[in-house]
Amino acid sequence: MSDVNIFVKWNNISMDLSWYNTLHKPPLNPPSAIFAPVWGVIYTLIFLSFFIFMFAKTDKDKKAGILFFLVQLLLNFSWSPVFFYLHNITLSFVIIILLLIFLILTIISFYKISKPAAYLLIPYLLWICFAAYLNMGIMILN
């Protein structure tokens, strides 16, 4: 990959991603072009899962599932600025581990209300496991 400056806007903060190009990457690191389409599919599945969960007819309490979902979503949204703006690889790894924990709690809670809602989150779980591997690899190699 060339040393090209790439800028991303996030809440009016410009993040210079050329720093990322200087990092040593672990084996299996995919090309940058893969991330946007994968995340597009993942966010679609996340939305569908939450929609199905929220509109599932049940007498069971949904509060825990909603709380876990919101926490994992907040952790998801916080990872990029910590990694790409703050360049804090270790803190981003802590965030992704917490994200994994809360995503698993979300899946378990969703499963109790709607199995399809839980199953829709499995690709997200697999992608976050892969992202944790990449984050850990970058942390070790740099």
pLDDT in tens, 11-31: 455 566 789 999 999 999 999
Q: Domain boundaries in the chain?
A: 32-141
Q: Which amino acid is at 97?
A: I
User: CA 95, CA 8: separation in Å to the nearest integer?
Assistant: 20
DSSP letter string, 10-57: ETTEEEETHHHHTS---TTPPPGGGHHHHHHHHHHHHHHHHHHHHH--
Q: Could you tell me the pLDDT band of residue 49, with boundaries at 50, 70 and 90?
A: very high
Query: What is the chain's mean pLDDT, rounded?
Result: 91
What is the number of alpha carbons within 13 Å of residue 58 lying toward its C-beta? 15
pLDDT in tens, 75-86: 999 999 999 999
User: CA 138, CA 134: separation in Å to the nearest integer?
Assistant: 6
